[in-house]
A and B are shown apart, each in its own frame.
Chain A
Amino acid sequence: MKLQRMRIEQLRQFRKPFVLDNLQPGLNLIHGPNESGKSTLVRAIRAAFFERYRSTAVDDLRPWGDSAAAPTIELDFEHDNRAWRLTKSFLQRKRCDLVVGTESYSEDDAEEKLAELLGYQYPKRGASKAEHWGIPGLLWVEQGTGQDIEQAIEHAGDHLKSALNSMVGEVASSGGDDLIETVRSQRDILLTGTGKPRGDYLKLEKDRAQHQLEIEELKERVHKYQEQVDRLGKLTQDYEQAEAERPWEDAQRHLEEARARYQKVERLEQEQNQEKATFAQQQQNHRLLQQNKEHLEGLSRQLESRKAELDRAEHDLSVAQAQTPAVTGRLAEARTAYEQAEKQRKLSGLLQTRERLEQDLRRLEQQQQVISQNLAKAREYQRQLEQARQQARENRIDSELVKKLRATGSQLNEETIRSQTIATRLSWKLDADASLTLNNEPLVGQGEQQLLEESTLVIPGVGTLGITPGGEELASTRRKLKALEENLEEQLKTLGVESVKRAEDRLSAFESAESVVKHAEDLFKTVAPAGLEQLVFEQSEAESELEKARKQLESTPKPDSNETVPTLEEAEAAFNQASAALDKAESDERAHQSRLSALKQARDNAKTEWQRLADEEKSPERQQQLRQITTDLANLEKQQAELEASLERREREIRDARPEFLRQDIERYQNAVNQLRQTQENRGRELRDIKVRLEAWGAEGLEEQLNEKEAEFDQCNRRYEELHRRAQALDLLLHLLTEKRQALTRRLQAPLQKNLNHYLSVLFPEASLEVDEQLRPGTFSRGTELGLITELSFGAREQMGLISRLAYADLLREAGRPTLVILDDTLVHTDSDRLEDMKRILFDAASRHQILLFTCHPEKWQDLGVPPVDIQASKELGT
C-alpha cells in the first residue's frame, strides 16, 4: 500500500484545503514546528480509516468555533496494482466514498472494505480506541507510544493471525481458540490441572469404592450365614444321633464294671500287705535268733583263736630270745674292731710326725750349710774390694783433662810437621875435619836442620853466613808452635805427669781398678744382700733351729720297725668304719631288748584272755541256751516257707488282675461319660445359639440386600465409567487441540523471529530477542544480560518497539498484506549513535514499505537521504 496524496479541509487548523502531494513509495520525512499541523495530519489519516463517517464522537476534528464545518479527508493510495481513492466527510456532511479502480463503494460498504483491507474494526459506538485499531495500531505509531508494543500486538491479535493465514497454509482455525476454551472448561469440570478426578467424577470414584466395600462386607456376612447354616445342619444331625444312641450310658456301664473289679483287687492287696507285715516280723525274729545262736557258737571259736594268738605270742618271744646271744656277740666284735682301729690310727699319726721332723731336720741342715758357704764367699769378696779400692785411689786422674792433653799433644805434632815442611832446610856433609858453627852450635859430619829463624852460619875460615828462612807463614807457625808447646807443658804439670803417654797409662790403670771395685761389689751383694752382719745372724739362727729339731726327733718314740703300719688315711677310714659298725651294733642291741619286753607283754595278755574265755566256755547255762535257740529257729523257718508261698500266690493273682489298667479304665470311662454328656449338652447349647443367631441374621435379608447393593454399585460404576471415558476423551481432545495450535504458532514464530533478528543485528550485534507463543517479543539477551523487554530503559524499549513493528510489517508484506508505517515524532529518547543505527534500519525498511515520518526536529533526520517536506511551506504554497 502506497499513500500518494492527501488532502484535508475544514479540519482543525486546516480550515482551507491542504494538500500533501508527491508522497514517495519509500521514506517520507514530513516536518513542521509545533502547532504547524503535523499531528493534525496524523490524526486525519487515522480518522479517515478508524472513525465511522457517521460518528458523533469526532468533535475534535472540527476547526475551533466553526460549528458548520464538515471536516473532510481525501486519500489517494495504490494497493495491489490498483488505485484507491477514499473520501470521508464528518459531522455536518457525513459521507464516505471509496473508489477502487473502476469499482465504487460508499458509506458502510466502503468502511467495511477498508477494515478488511487493513485489518481493524470499528467501535460499536463512540470514538475508535486502541483496541479497535488492529494491524494499523501496530504499524502506525502515535507520539510517545512507540515502546508499548505488547498492547498493540494484543489488539492486533486475531487480525494478525488471519492476515498471516496464507503464510502458514490455512492451518489457523476460525474460532479454534474458543473451541479450546470450551473443551478446557468442560475438562476442568471433571479433572484437576494435573489430571486427577474432581467434582462428580471424584465423588463417583469414592462412592464406587464405598459400594465395593459394602458389597464385600455383605458377601462376608452372607458367607458367615451360610457357614452357620451348614454348622446347624451338621449339629442337628449329630445331636439327634447322639440322643438316639445315648453312648454315655454304655460308658457308664463299663465304668461300674471296672469299679467292681478294682474293688476286688483292692481287697487282695490289703490281705497281701497284712501278710507281708507278718512275714517281715518273722524275718526280724529269725534274724535275732540267728544272731543269738551265732553269739553262743562264737565263744568256742573265740577260744580257739585266743589259743592260737597265745601260741603265736609264745613262739615270737622264744624266737626273739634265741636271737639275743648273736646280738650281744656282734656288739663285742664291733667294740674290739673299734679299739684295734683306734690304736692303728694313733700309730699312723706318730709315724707321720716323725717323718715330718726328719724332713725338717734335713732341710735345716742344708740351710745352715748354704749360709756358711755364703759367709766365706762374702769375706773373700770383701777383701778383693778393699784391694781394688786401694789401686783406684793410687791412680786417680781426671779423664777429661787427659783427653784435653791428648788433643793438645796431637795439635802440637801437626804444627811441628807443618813447620818442618815450610822451614828452610839446611843439610850438610862435612869433611871429617871440617866444622862449622850454626848459630853458635857446631856442625859436624852429616846432618840436616830446618831453619825457621834467621840463622848465622859460621864457617870457620870463611866467615859467617846469614840465613833467613823465607815465607811470611813461618813466623806465625813458629809462634803457634811455641804457644802449643807452652800449653802442653802447662797441662802436663797440672796432671803431674811427664808425658802424654804417662798420662794415658795412669788413666788406664784407674779405670781398670774402678771396674774391679764394681764387680766385687756385685758379687758381694749376691751372697750377702743384707750385709755381712745379717748373714752372720742368720747362720746362728739356723744353728739354733737345727738344734731344736734334733731334740724333738729324739723325744719322739721310734716305732717298731717289724710292725706294718698303714697310712694315716687308711687308718682314719678304717676307724670311721669301725665306729659306725659299733654304733649300729649298739642300737641293734637296744632294739632287740625293747622288742623282747614287748613280746613278753603280748604273751602275758594273750594268756590272760585265753584263760578267761576257757573258763566261760565250759559253763552249763550256755549249753542249755544253745539247744533252745536251735529248736526255735527250725520252727520259724517252716512258718516262713508257708507264708512265702502264700504271698507269691496272691501276688500273681493281683498282677493278673492288672490294677493299674483297672484304675485307668475307671478314669477313662468316667471321662468318657462326662465328655459324652458334656458334648451333647454343648451341642444343644450351640444349636440354640445358632438358631437364635440365624433367625436374627435371616431377618436382615442379607442376600437381597447384597443384590440391591450390587445393583447400586453397577449403576454407580456405569456412571463412573461414563465420566471416566468422558474425562479421558476431553483430556485427549484438549491435548490435541493445544498441541496443534502450538504447532501453528511455532510456524508463525519462525519468520517473525527471522525478521526481528535482521533489524536487531544492526542495533545490537550479538544480541537476541525471543518471540514468545503469542508472537510477542519476549526475552532479550545481550552477552550475559538477560531479561524482558519491559525491563530495558525507555530509549531501548522504544527502539525495540520500532524494530518489532518493522518485523511485523515485513511478515505482513510477505503474507501479501498492505503495509504502511507511520511514525509520529518517534525515537526522541534515542542518543545520536543509536539514532544513526536506527536510520540505517529505517532506510532498509523503506525499501520494502512506505514510511511516513513526522517530526518537529528535521535537523536530526537531515542525513536520511530524502528531501524533507515542510508543512509550513506546503500550507503557504496551498494558500
Chain B
Amino acid sequence: MPKFLHTADWQMGRAFTRFETEDGAALVEARFEAIETLARLANEHHCDAVLVAGDVFDAQTVSDRTIRRVFNATKGFVGPWVMLPGNHDAALAESVWTRAQRLGAVPENVHLALQPGVISLEPERLSVLCAPLTQRHTYGDLTAPFNGYETPEGSIRIGLAHGSVQGLLPDEIDSTNPIAPNRAEASRLDYLALGDWHGTKQIDERTWYSGTPEPERFRNNEAGNALIVDVSEPGATPTVTQLPTGRYQWHQWRETLAVQSDLEQLLERLNTLPESAVVDLRLEGSVTLAGEETLLKALSVAEARFRSLRCERSGLQLAPTDEDIAALKADGYVGEVVESLRDRQEDAQDDSARDALAILAGLLREREQEAGQ
C-alpha cells in the first residue's frame, strides 16, 4: 500500500526584495524550515517516498552553502527522495545538480532525475516516470515518452513532471513546458505529480499540483501545502490529502478610503490577522489629518506585530478639514499655504503637495503639543 508525499517549487536560494533586510532573512529561513517540515510530515504519515516535482532551486548558481543546506534539511526523512529538475534548475550540461554532485552534498537516499526515464524504487514498489527539463524552456510535451515507459508488474506508475497543463491553467497560453491534460490516463499513470504552479491545484483525480510548501508571493493562490498520496494498488484511484506546511501567510490589500468608517474597518481587519502575516497595503482615496494620525499610529503598532508590514500611501490624499486646520492653528499665511497645498494635491495629483501637507501638519501639530505642555 504505497504512500508518498508530493511537493514542488521550493525555489531555494531566492532572496526577497521589497522587504526590510531582517524580514527578508526570516522569509528565506522559513523555506529551509519548510523542507524540514516536509521530512517530518513524511515520517508522521509513514510515507514511502518524497517526490519533488521541479524547481527545488530558484537558480542554477546558488551558493554552495544553500546547496548543502537544502540537502541537509532532507535528513529528517531517510526514505527515498526523488528530485526533478524544473525550469529554474534544469539539468543542463552544467547545473546546480552537477555542482551538488561534485560537492558530494547529495545523500544516498536522494535520487536526482537528471535523465528522462524511470526511477524504480523496488522495495517501495514505486516506479517514478521522470520528465526532467534538460533545457531552460521546451515547447514540446516532455511527458509524451511516458506512454512508452514499461514498468514492472505490480508496481505503481507515478509520473513526475514540471510544466503547464494545457488549457486548464489561467494565463498560460503559449506557455513553455506544456503537458497534455490527459497525460495520466494516456500513459496509464496511477498518479501524475506536477510542479510549476505555486498553489495547490487538482487537475483530475490522478493529477495534482502540490504547490510550494512556503508561500513566496502575495498572489493568493492556495500556497503553503504538501500532498500525501495514497495509492492502494496499481490502477486504484489515489487518495490525496492536503496538509498545510507554510509558516507565513501573505496578504496584499488594495483599499480605497473615502469616509471615516472605511479607515475604521480597515484597521479592524488588520487587527484580526495573525502575527505570522506578511502584509502589503496599498491605500488610495483620501483621509483627514486626524484620520491620518490614527492610521499612522495603527500602522506603527501593526509593523511591530506582523512579520512584515508595508503600506503604500502615496495614492492616499490628505484632506484637512476645517476642524483640522483650526486644531493646528494654521492662521495667516500658513493657513494660505495649507489651502494652496490642498488645492494642488487635488488638482494635479501632486505627490509633493501631499507630502508637504503632511510635513506641515506634523510641524504644526508638534508646535501645538509644545504649546500645550
Contact = CB atoms under 8 A, between A and B. Distances in A.
B355 interface: yes
A172 to B, nearest CB: 5
A607 B331 CA distance: 160
A704 B337 contact: no
Given A691-B94, A729-B355, A171 B61 contact: no
A573 interface: no
Contacts of B363: 179, 182-183
B16 interface: yes
Contacts of A741: 333
B313 to A, nearest CB: 11
B43 to A, nearest CB: 30
Contact of A736 (B21, B96, B329, B337): B337
Nearest to B332: A173
Contacts of A704: 13, 15, 58-59, 61-63, 66
Given A230-B92, A736-B340, A703 B13 contact: yes
A242 B30 CA distance: 48
Contacts of B96: 698
A698 B95 CA distance: 8
A729 B92 CA distance: 52
A173 B332 CA distance: 4
Interface string A661-702: 000000000000000000000000000001100110111111
A171 B337 CA distance: 11
A519 to B, nearest CB: 155
A698 B60 contact: yes
Nearest to A690: B94
Interface string A184-218: 00100000000000000000000000000000000
A19 interface: no
A813 B358 CA distance: 40
Contacts of A737: 333-334, 337
A698 B64 CA distance: 8
B17 A714 contact: yes
Interface string B354-371: 111011100110010000
Interface string B166-199: 0000000000000000000000000000000000
B14 interface: yes
A747 to B, nearest CB: 10
Contacts of A270: none
A743 interface: yes
Interface in B313-342: 314, 329-337, 340-341
Interface in A228-246: 228-230, 232-233, 235-236
B19 interface: yes
A17 to B, nearest CB: 47
B17 A728 contact: no
Contacts of B20: 715
Contacts of A713: 17
A732 B351 CA distance: 11
A737 B341 CA distance: 11
A232 B95 CA distance: 11
Interface string B85-116: 00000001111100100100000000000000
Most chain B beta-carbon neighbours within 10 Å: one of A172, A718, A733: A733
Interface in B340-358: 340-341, 351-356, 358
Given A703-B13, A714-B17, A744 B332 contact: yes
B15 A707 contact: yes
B24 interface: yes
Interface string A146-187: 000000000000000000000000111111100100110010
Contacts of A174: 329, 331-332
B58 A707 contact: yes
A536 B238 CA distance: 196
Chain B interface residue bracket vs A: 35 or more
Contacts of A226: 60
A63 to B, nearest CB: 46
A690 B94 CA distance: 9
A78 interface: no
Contacts of A498: none
Contacts of A308: none
A171 to B, nearest CB: 5
Contact of A707 (B13, B60, B94, B333): B13
A843 interface: no
A700 B66 CA distance: 11
A291 to B, nearest CB: 85
B356 A702 contact: no
Contacts of A736: 337, 340-341, 356
Given A233-B92, A233-B93, A699 B15 contact: no
Given A170-B332, A736-B340, A740-B333, A729 B61 contact: no
B57 to A, nearest CB: 9
A725 interface: yes
B332 A232 contact: no
Contacts of B94: 228-229, 232, 690-691, 694-695, 698
A161 to B, nearest CB: 10
B18 interface: yes
A695 B17 contact: no
Given A733-B356, A736-B341, A740-B336, A700 B61 contact: yes
Interface string B1-40: 0000000000001111111110010000000000000000
A680 B337 CA distance: 79
A741 B332 CA distance: 9
Nearest to A222: B61
Contact of A179 (B61, B62, B334, B336): B334
Nearest to B94: A694
Nearest to B67: A701
A715 B19 CA distance: 7
Interface in B110-147: none
Interface string B40-64: 0000000000000000001111111
Contact of A711 (B15, B334, B341): B15
Contact of B359 (A698, A715, A730, A744): A730
Contacts of B16: 711
B356 A171 contact: no
Nearest to B20: A715
B63 A701 contact: yes
A173 B92 contact: no
Contact of A171 (B93, B336, B340, B352): B336
A478 interface: no
Contacts of B18: 714, 718
The 8 closest A-B pairs by CB, nearest first: A173-B332, A701-B63, A729-B355, A703-B59, A707-B15, A233-B93, A740-B333, A232-B93
30 contacts: A171-B336, A174-B332, A179-B364, A183-B359, A228-B94, A229-B93, A690-B94, A691-B94, A695-B102, A698-B94, A698-B96, A698-B99, A699-B64, A701-B61, A701-B64, A701-B65, A701-B66, A703-B13, A703-B59, A707-B13, A707-B14, A708-B15, A725-B355, A729-B353, A729-B355, A730-B356, A731-B352, A733-B337, A737-B337, A744-B333
Given A179-B363, A183-B363, 6 more contacts: A172-B333, A229-B93, A697-B61, A707-B58, A710-B15, A711-B16
